[in-house]
Copies of this chain bind each other. A is one copy, B any other.
Amino acid sequence: MKILWINPVGTDRYDRAIGALLKREAREETEVDVVSLPQDRPQHLEYHAYEAIVTPDIVRLVYAFRKRYDAFVIGCFYDVALREAREVSAEAVVLAPCQSSLVHAAHLGNSFSVLVGRQKWIPKMQENVRSYGCADRLASMRALELGVQDFQRDPEATARRMIEEGKKAVEEDGAEVLVLGCTIEFGFYREMQERLGVPVIDAVLSPFKLAESLGETARRFGWGPSRTGGSQAPPEEEAARWGLACEPPIGSFLGFAEIPHED
């Protein structure tokens, strides 16, 4: 089982920490590599224009490595470029945090709230939740008023903030499950869970563990992506001519062996 975790940003700042987290929680048979984008790319994707910029990067990475991995995870809760990447992933499955988290949430409770960084993120994330069919179960989206780059700066302050807002989601909005609406909110779910008494879905662990499962069923049962209808892949030659088959846009690549056990 080989998984590629894509941090779709122009910084390797989170690669080692996320890599170590994945390594610690991986099944024995799983190998996970972590890649991030060239340094001139946006370092966070809080604006849709930044998503636009990294969209071809994500698709090119998946296309380039489609035969070397069983599963890909696009590490941003906007689920950027998910439809596009799935189209070119050959037999590999492609996952993304929002869709995965909703799977976990749907199995654990009647309703969920998402704790996002900023109000800014809410409309697109709500539309994603709606398009995944989970709008009826969404108790609320609550903004922590922290940016992507703030979450790991002062973890204690972040934890306090998340617990405070999570408590409101449970008590005022009726959420039975909490979902952390950004991959950089990693490292907090367990304390929140203990304090709040409800499951807290981590946006890194959720798609990663589901990727292990869907990667396994893809390989074992042939349950890779459909290639008919809207899922039909572009012809290889044409795709190559029009820029899909270029040098993959890698800023940093951290192979499984290089990932530290603790970070």
A146, CB-defined interface residue at 8 Å: no
Say whether B223 contacts A110, CB under 8 Å. Answer: no
A153, CB-defined interface residue at 8 Å: no
In the bound complex, residues from chain B placing their C-beta under 8 Å from that of A53 are: 56, 59, 242-244
A51, CB-defined interface residue at 8 Å: yes
In the bound complex, residues from chain B placing their C-beta under 8 Å from that of A10 are: 242
**Complex formed: what's the CA distance from A43 to B234 in Å?**
13
A115 CB to nearest B CB, Å: 16
A56 CB to nearest B CB, Å: 5
* Chain A interface SS verdict (over half): helix
**Complex formed: what's the CA distance from A131 to B231 in Å?**
19
A177, CB-defined interface residue at 8 Å: yes
Q: What is the total number of copies of this protein in its complex?
A: 6
**Complex formed: what's the CA distance from A62 to B233 in Å?**
29
**Complex formed: what's the CA distance from A55 to B157 in Å?**
37
**Complex formed: what's the CA distance from A56 to B243 in Å?**
13
Mark A40-52 against chain B: 1 for CB-CB distance below 8 A, else 0: 1111001111111
Select A214's contact among B84, B107, B228, beta carbons within 8 Å.
Answer: B107
Select A81's contact among B52, B87, B123, B225, beta carbons within 8 Å.
Answer: B52
Say whether B137 contacts A133, CB under 8 Å. Answer: yes
A258, CB-defined interface residue at 8 Å: no
A136, CB-defined interface residue at 8 Å: yes
**Complex formed: what's the CA distance from A153 to B52 in Å?**
33
In the bound complex, residues from chain B placing their C-beta under 8 Å from that of A232 are: 47, 120
Among A68-89, those with CB < 8 Å from B are 81, 83-85, 87-88
Say whether A221 contacts B205, CB under 8 Å. Answer: yes
**A-to-B contact residues, CB < 8 Å:** 10, 25, 27, 40-43, 46-53, 55-56, 58-59, 63, 81, 83-85, 87-88, 93, 95, 99, 103-104, 106-111, 119-124, 127, 130-137, 170, 174-177, 189-190, 193, 197-199, 201-202, 205-206, 209-210, 212-214, 216-217, 220-234, 239, 242-244
10 contacts between A and B (CB under 8 A): A41-B242, A48-B83, A51-B84, A52-B84, A99-B106, A120-B229, A122-B230, A132-B133, A193-B222, A210-B213
